[in-house]
Structure 1
């Protein structure tokens, strides 16, 4: 067993980054696809009226440890993506572009390197006062892939639905929840606080 204390681990110090809100989107209907907005009001339950809003949600295939449909904490109130990562995925799918709306994104953040690799616990402080906390990477699924295929006019929509999860792994962005309510505006600055990190070794 390794000795206790920091000596047993490689500790990566906390750091700060900066970015900009390049796009805002909300899903006001009964489908996950979003529409562009100039501002978003973030409440503790997420975006009021949004497809993914609410303090709780029902478990699905991402939570095999629960029976499907189990009520659980909603840590997926917001979907966050980056323009450079969407461009990479589009290229891998042979598409000219993938719009954030097609993936159900709420926030498009620019200027943050390797956005999808930000660790759980990262805090996003928006200049207008809202704070968002990162829960995890957003695993790419065939439902988003199907929507991309439909919107991009792919000849084989099912093939596109299956291709997306393969080529978008670790490039699909992040899911997050609202820690402090506030209004976020297009073009707004965001301060990113990445927590201290380590690899756990039992």
Structure 2
């Protein structure tokens, strides 16, 4: 269900980025920036009080990394969606963030409209995934036994994402709604997170 108002907290050590994003979010209809933080350590002291709908998390943070921060946020407040802020060259870190429970990722420098749409989409059950990340996800499920394997339909969606197909193209090919494709991707992320926790328990 779409939320009428979406609250956001930003975690980024670049003060200019925080200011730019907070102004952008506060100027958008149905969005508000509750807080900005320069590191995970400070943010974790306030998120329990602020309870944002979404945390925008920089991957490359000083001290505790964005991946570590995501793990803690999702363990303490599973209802909070975490979206990673990343550069083009950080596929491995993005993948580890998704394994830690992030709901998606945004490229730094993406158009403002794309960022705002992504915040709304993630609160509506969406979860972005590009071709490179889809390949890493597929490989993870292929080589490791998991407690919750992908269904046939989820595998079909993932295979098409690996080929670079858009959500709409996948929907057309599988004769389903675009929202159904997003639902399957969200489930894939959820199972990736479960698999990661399962592996950690075995160590």
How does the TM-score come out when normalised to structure 1? 0.26
TM-score (norm 2): 0.26
Bigger relative CO (Cα 8 Å, ≥ 6 apart): 1
Structure with greater proportional helix content: 2
Flag the structure with larger Rg: 1
